[in-house]
Structure formats: C-alpha cells, structure tokens
Homo-oligomer: A and B are copies of this chain.
Amino acid sequence: MVVTIKDVARLAGVSVSSVSRTLASPESVRPGTRERVLRAAAEVGYSPNAAARALTTGRTYNVGLVVPDLANPFFPTVVKAIQSRAREFDYSVLLVDTDEDPSAEVELIRKLVKQVDGFLLCGPRAADEDLRSFIGETPVVTVNRRVGPIPSVICDHTDGVRQAVGHLAALGHRAIAYVGGPRASAVNRERARGLRSMCTSMGIELVDLGNAAPNFDGGAAAADLVLAAPVTAVLAYNDLQALGLVSRFKERGASVPEQISVVGFDDIPLAGQVSPRLTTIAQRGDLLGRAAVDLLLDLLQDRVGAGGPRRVMPTQLIVRGSTGPAAA
C-alpha cells in the first residue's frame, strides 16, 4: 500500500497538519514533535504525493522542455544540462520533441500547459504570435530565440558570424556561400542576417544557397551547389550539415581546406574528432541550458533575475583543420 501523510500522523501521534508543517518548515514546530514526526516518516518511508501537493499549492515542480529534434547532437547537450540543473531544485523535466513541426509544437505546449510550472523552449519553430499567446498563461523562457518580451537565453550568433567572417577574410576569401537551416529557425535567420551585414561591411561577396535540412544529408545535398558557385569557402547552418558538405566534397574530389574551406556551427562533440577536424562557431549548450533553468526559476519565484529577462551567452570560433587560405 501507499503511505500517506495520515499514516505518518497516526504513527507519530500528531495531526496531519503537524506532519505537513514539520516537513515544510521544521522550525515552526516544537523540537519534540519534530523529532517524532521525522522518525515516523523515516520509519514508514513516507514521500509526499506530488499530485496532491500540486493541487493545493498550484505548483507542479515540473518544467516542460520542448526541442525541435533530439537527433541533432546539439540538443542532447542542452537537454542534459537542463535536466541536471532542474534536478538540483527538485524540478522534473517533461520532454517533448516536435520533430521540427511548428504546429505540433504549439499543440503540444497547449496540452502540457496545466502540467508544468513553466516552459523552456529550445529553438522554437512556431510563429512569434503563437508563442506570444502563451505569455500570461504560463511562464516561458526561450532558448536561442528572441520573441518580443519573452525572457530568453541566447547565444550571440551575430558575434559568432563576425568572428567566422573575419577569420575567412584574413585567409583571403573574397566570396563565401551560406547553406541555410530550417526556415522556421530563428537562429538561422539571425545567422543569415548577421552574415549579410558582415559581408557587406567587409566587402565580401555572399552567395545564399537557400535552406537545407539541418542534418548530414542536407549538407551533402548542398555540397554540389557550393561547388557550382564561385566561392572558396562555405558556412553551414550547423555542424551536421558541415560534415555532410565535407563528405560530399571528398566524393567529388574537392579537398578541404585546400580547395574549399568549411565552417560549421555549434561545435558538437564529433566536430573535433572527424578528419579534417571541423572549424566551427561554438555555442556552449550546457551553459545555455543551465542559464535557461535559472532564468525560468527566477521567473517562477517572481524575482526577475539580476540579469534581467534576457541573457546572452558568448560564442567562440574554434579554428581547426577545415579552413585554410583561399584557393588562388
């Protein structure tokens, strides 16, 4: 049988109120009582029923975590960090994978709204107005996306792009291509925008190759477009794409970085392990996840964190073997 607070109360010879109080704020109860209650609780192995607690307090101690695609190695890093940080505060994580589907995303959030105290939306794909519709209803923190007044934790992608373009320019590249990610991805839009303005200001020609799937095959498919374009370097939306590019370049006999330089995004674990090792713009998924949890928890406590409702994390260009001087 399940043991409830009543069992503990009976065993300790006190009322349920006293048990509840003892567990919630031990100092509000006399030492003798406290002693007996704790002993009784330990004896029967009592642990409170989360549903009952949620019902009275209105707090579930759950957070909803929404990711577009767990198969993208960047997200597990974030999810791990979120899960572990949330646990520290006794919060559990309800995970939802939307498979890059904006409408599924909205629907799933709707369904979960009563089961969680708030949401962490990683790279949400839904439209701004849909996301905005949740404000007021439930606390939300977006990760790597900025939507109006919604608190967010983002990486400074613009700065990352700046570093990458600077790096390529220094290597003598005068024309570079960009392989885009999902149209619905805010990160993609921000990178593309940053890239345009950066290239313009540095006098570098930018060839936009449109949107490709944010995975290995998407990159491989785009590789031939790159080779057909008058460029000596290519930036990919993420590392998986970059790996796909490199792989297809090899097949086509285009050597990296001698003939073409490749820059990825994210610095997934494998990026530094393949050959050639991938030059990439790193974002620290673990820091991102941790900061997102902290921000959401601040929100839940009604203390808007000292850092305000948005936090920006640095990005860093990691130069490895996939970039080199521009081909003549």
- A sample of 16 cross-chain residue pairs with beta-carbon separation below 8 angstroms, ordered by A number, consists of A50-B60, A50-B115, A51-B51, A51-B54, A51-B55, A51-B114, A52-B55, A65-B95, A70-B80, A71-B76, A76-B76, A80-B99, A84-B97, A84-B99, A87-B108, A216-B270
Question: Closest Cβ of chain B: how far from A311's Cβ, in Å?
Answer: 23
Q: How close is A295's CB to chain B, nearest CB, in angstroms?
A: 20
Say yes or no: B71 contacts A97, CB within 8 Å: no
Q: How far is the CA of A90 from the CA of B52 in the complex (A)?
A: 20
Contacts of A84 in B (CB 8 A): 97, 99
Number of copies of this chain that the complex holds: 2
**A118 interface residue, CB < 8 Å from B?**
no
In the bound complex, what is the Cα–Cα distance between A216 and B274 (angstroms)?
Answer: 10
Residues of chain A touching chain B, judged by Cβ–Cβ distance below 8 Å, are 47-52, 54-55, 60, 62, 65, 70-71, 73, 75-77, 79-80, 83-84, 87, 92-97, 99, 108, 110-115, 215-216, 220, 243-244, 247, 250, 269-270, 273-275
Question: Which B residues lie within 8 Å of A79 (CB)?
Answer: 70, 95, 97
Roughly how many angstroms separate A51 CA and B54 CA in the complex, as a whole number?
6
Q: Are A273 and B216 in contact (CB-based, < 8 A)?
A: yes
Report how far A60 CA is from B54 CA in the complex, Å: 12
Chain B residue with the shortest CB-CB distance to A70: B76
Interface contact A48-B273, CB-CB below 8 Å:
no
Q: Are A269 and B47 within 8 A (Cβ)?
A: no
What residues of chain B lie closer than 8 Å to A92, measured between beta carbons? 94, 112, 115
The 4 closest A-B pairs by CB, nearest first: A51-B54, A95-B95, A70-B76, A50-B115
